[in-house]
């Protein structure tokens, strides 16, 4: 008996498992010519990867055909990733993809055009709508090189979402039609003047990266981000200290805090000011265990923040500081100041990079 015959004698469940591990849909479909046994087997494969780097050559209508074909074959889950940031012209996606594709669970869009949308209220406003009840992962990245202004915005209706990632530096807006109570991880980097709608809809998040250009109107009053355990906060904006105070106050279960200057500071960057909270946040008294600060500069405000954390962080186990400076003398001075800081937690360890 040949090797091919022995493989063909394996049960369908095992063969389908093998087919699902093949790198592309073309490889899977190619097996249909092996024998009659294999002719229709590929139709039942649980996982099919269609990777076409030349997707920009296709029209929106072609994508509709692919989506409807997948729907006809009762596909349970679909993952779509499209990045046209390096293309001469953006990919134009059909409305069907992000409003009617019921099996879609992951959608990642970078610098694409969502077709056929304009505001019914104001012709000068363009709304990019994603309305997919089955969606679990959504990534939206806008390109600063594309023509777009602050009258453009996103409308999102994805109540089953579990992961949300949005980067939008165009100063537009984002409307969430329904809360997203299942979101456990989110990455929010926007220059929207009112991020209230976004943060107010993901209050069940457990891991959060946050970079905002404002600390005002963050989310509805008396809203607790009660499940948040890991927070990464970007320190690139002058309002970041106010944002830090708000997040500490409203995150009673926070265990890990990371501060980092992820974006470069603008030339006109103003100095941030620290206003010590009138009361100690609950998380400092009962849950916060680690503090990591990347690109620490040792300004008076930053030293006050670290001092506040040390004095009130009764559960702190480790504080890691990474200096932005390459000056050895300046680093040594920082180490001395931090080492002699009064610490509430007797087990708190200080690490300096």
pLDDT at 38 over 90: no
Of 235, 307, 231, residue with least CA distance to 272: 235
**pLDDT > 70 in the chain, percent:** 66
Q: Is the pLDDT of residue 146 over 60?
A: no
Q: What pLDDT does residue 140 have?
A: 85
Please give the residue that has the higher pLDDT: either 191 or 209. Answer: 209
- 150 has a pLDDT exceeding 80: no
pLDDT band for position 180 (cuts 50, 70, 90): very high
Report pTM. Answer: 0.75
pLDDT at 341 over 90: no
> What b/e sequence results for 96-123 when a residue is b if at least 16 CB atoms lie within 10 Å of its CB, and e otherwise?
bbbeebeebbbbbbbbbbbeeeeeeeee
Mean pLDDT of 80-99: 61
Lowest mean pLDDT, pick from 54-68, 255-269, 277-291, 338-352: 54-68
List, for residues 105-120, the tens digit of each pLDDT value.
Answer: 777 666 555 544 444 4
**pLDDT level of residue 43 (50, 70, 90 thresholds):** confident
| Comparison of pLDDT for 260 and 267, the residue scoring more | 260
Between residues 6 and 284, which one has the greater pLDDT? 284
User: Does the pLDDT of residue 331 top 80, yes or no?
Assistant: yes
Predicted pLDDT at 267: 47
Structure tokens at 264: 């470069």
Q: Which residue has the higher pLDDT, 16 or 181?
A: 181
Q: Cα(260)–Cα(296) distance, rounded to whole angstroms?
A: 8
Look at residues 319, 316, 352, 320 and name the one whose alpha carbon lies nearest to residue 336: 352
pLDDT tier, 227 (very low <50, low <70, confident <90, very high otherwise): very high
- pLDDT(54) > 70: no
Q: What CA–CA distance (Å, rounded) separates 336 from 320?
A: 14
Distances (CA, A) of 180 to 156, 161, 163, 198, 201: 10, 6, 10, 10, 5
pLDDT for res 242: 87
pLDDT computed for residue 123 by the predictor: 45
On average, the pLDDT of the chain sits at: 79
Torsion of CA 153, 158, 159, 163, to 10 degrees: -90
What does the pLDDT average to over 235-256? Answer: 91
- Identify the pLDDT of residue 247: 93
281 has pLDDT over 90? yes
What was the pLDDT predicted at 121? 42
Distances (CA, A) of 282 to 194, 215, 253: 26, 20, 8
């Amino acid at each position: 008996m040949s090797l091919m015959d022995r493989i063909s004698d394996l049960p369908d469940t095992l063969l389908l498992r093998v087919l699902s591990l093949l790198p592309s849909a073309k490889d899977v479909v190619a097996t249909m010519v092996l024998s009659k046994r294999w002719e229709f087997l590929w139709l039942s494969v649980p996982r099919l990867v269609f990777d076409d780097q030349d997707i920009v050559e296709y029209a929106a209508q072609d994508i509709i055909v692919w989506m409807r074909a997948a729907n006809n074959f009762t596909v349970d889950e679909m993952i779509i990733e499209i990045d046209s940031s390096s293309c001469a012209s953006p990919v134009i996606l059909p409305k069907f993809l992000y409003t009617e594709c019921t099996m879609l669970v992951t959608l990642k869009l970078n610098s694409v055009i969502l077709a056929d949308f304009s505001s019914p209220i104001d012709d000068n406003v363009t709304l990019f709508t994603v309305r997919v009840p089955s969606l679990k992962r959504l990534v939206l990245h806008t390109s600063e090189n594309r023509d777009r202004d602050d009258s453009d915005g996103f409308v999102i209706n994805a109540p089953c979402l579990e992961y949300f990632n949005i980067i939008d530096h165009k100063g537009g807006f984002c409307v969430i039609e329904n809360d997203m109570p299942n979101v456990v991880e989110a990455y929010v980097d926007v220059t929207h003047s009112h991020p209230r709608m976004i943060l107010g809809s993901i209050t069940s998040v457990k891991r959060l990266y946050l970079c905002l250009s404002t600390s005002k109107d963050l989310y509805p009053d008396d809203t607790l981000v009660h499940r948040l355990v890991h927070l990464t906060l970007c320190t690139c904006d002058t309002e970041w200290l106010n944002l830090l105070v708000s997040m500490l106050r409203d995150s009673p279960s926070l265990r890990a805090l990371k501060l980092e200057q992820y974006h470069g500071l603008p030339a006109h960057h103003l100095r941030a000011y620290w206003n010590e909270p009138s009361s100690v946040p609950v998380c400092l008294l009962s849950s916060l265990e680690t503090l990591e600060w990347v690109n620490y500069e040792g300004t008076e405000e930053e030293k006050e923040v670290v001092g506040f954390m040390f004095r009130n962080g009764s559960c702190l186990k480790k504080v890691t500081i990474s200096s932005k400076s390459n000056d050895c003398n300046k680093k040594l001075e920082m180490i001395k100041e931090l080492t002699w800081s009064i610490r509430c937690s007797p087990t708190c360890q200080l690490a300096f990079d």
